[in-house]
Amino acid sequence: MDFDLPEETKALQRLCRDFAAKEIEPYAAEWSANSYFPAEVFTKLGELGLMGMLISEEYGGSNAGYVAYVAAMEELGRADQSVASAWNAHSTIGSLPIAVFGTHEQKERWLRPLATGEAIGAFGLTEPTAGSDAAGIRTRARKVDGGWVIDGTKMFISNAGTSISAGVTILALTGEDADGTKRYGTFFVPEGTPGYSKGQRLHKLGWHALDTRELIFTECFVPDENLIGEEGAGLRQFLAVLDAGRISVAALSLSLASKALTLAVRHAGEREQFGRKLHKFQAISHKIADIATEVEAARALVYRAAWLADHGRPFSTAAAMAKLYASEVANRAADQSLQIHGGYGYILESEISRFYADAKILEIGEGTNEIQRNVIARAVMAEAAR
């Protein structure tokens, strides 16, 4: 069993580390304080070939795979969670529905600009009355001559309101079968489409530099060619790409936990109390030991899920486990790191305070941890019944 990353992946990780140190980390606190979305960073990521890591080379991506993607996320997320979360949403649910289910024409038209970094991708599922209950969405797409008319509202949607947004891929109800079963469709709504509007940026507890908004569709017409995949299969399509998003959020969580550990170690090695460095106190050293152990356990789960995905093996349960555990580790690591920082950690000027505020959403986004436990329990019970 080889736990070493391939040399090309190590080189990619160094590239991301250097980029993050130069282009992200020095400005992250300012971006957060001003709720500024750094569009220029994503253009540069595109120039480095990092905006289409999970996309086929045929359509402008690098098809680097999930292990390489996780390795890159570790470095970007350690620099800033807002940038990394935008990259996460773009790379997975913002791009993969088109990549997996789109036609050649749709991929050339919409996926290629996403893969090359000319634009950033977004996906609209969550609504004011539907989140974990994906089947409970109310946004409707009504068939008309030549296309579809969309009415409804999406909530908590990231990347749709930026200066480089291409549009948004959404899930909508398209009707019902004779037995009452709901039908769903996936549609791409380009930026500037009449009837498609966006609310003001939402003021969040964390991820301040990530652009997140309400999206409103009022008699919004899109032509037939904007339907992605098979009409009626939209929900299944979304669920099929959701596991990739869970690996991505798990990797984002891993990056936060790792950074929280680094900040804790740094502060414990510099701060003195009672004439001794903090790490000389057993209470502090044990906190650091616990964080370090959990970070390594999370890393093993995250990379295992990514490895399974790269090798074409079932990874749904592994992705749920990785997302569940890594996100909870991130919250515990941020909490204990801030505790080690004491009062210095509680002021907004401290680096750990930003990561502490960013941590909670990791237990909520891409399927709450309650949903992850449901997924895992069903899989375990199904395996036991075989």
DSSP state, residue 126: -
Marked catalytic residue, from 40, 366, 370, 383: 366
Helix axes 316-341, 369-384, angle to 10 degrees: 140
DSSP state, residue 5: P
pLDDT at 386: 87
Q: What's the rounded Cα separation, in Å, for the pair 13 and 122?
A: 25
Beta-bridge partners for 277: 272
pLDDT at 131: 85
Exposure string (b/e) for 61-99, b if CB count within 10 Å is 16 or more? Answer: bbebbbbbbbbbbbbbbbbbbbbbbbbbbbbbbbbbbbb
pLDDT at 197: 98
Domains detected in the chain: 7-116 (1.10.540.10), 123-232 (2.40.110.10), 236-384 (1.20.140.10)
pLDDT at 138: 96
For residue 311, count CB atoms less than 10 angstroms from its CB and return exposed for 0-12, middle for 13-18, buried for 19 or more: exposed
In the numeric block, which tokens belong to residue 268?
A: 């414990």
Helical ranges in 102-212 per DSSP H: 104-106, 112-116
For this structure, is 366 an active site residue? yes
Per the listing, tokens 């773009």 go with 90
Q: Which of 237, 240, 236, 238 is nearest to 316 (CA)?
A: 240
pLDDT at 2: 83
For residue 205, count CB atoms less than 10 angstroms from its CB and return exposed for 0-12, middle for 13-18, buried for 19 or more: exposed
Average pLDDT across each block of 10 residues of the chain; the chain has 386 residues. List them in order.
91 98 98 98 97 98 98 98 98 97 98 98 95 92 98 98 98 94 97 97 97 98 98 93 95 98 98 97 98 98 98 97 98 98 97 98 95 97 94
**Phi, psi at 130, each rounded to 5°:** -145, 125
pLDDT at 111: 98
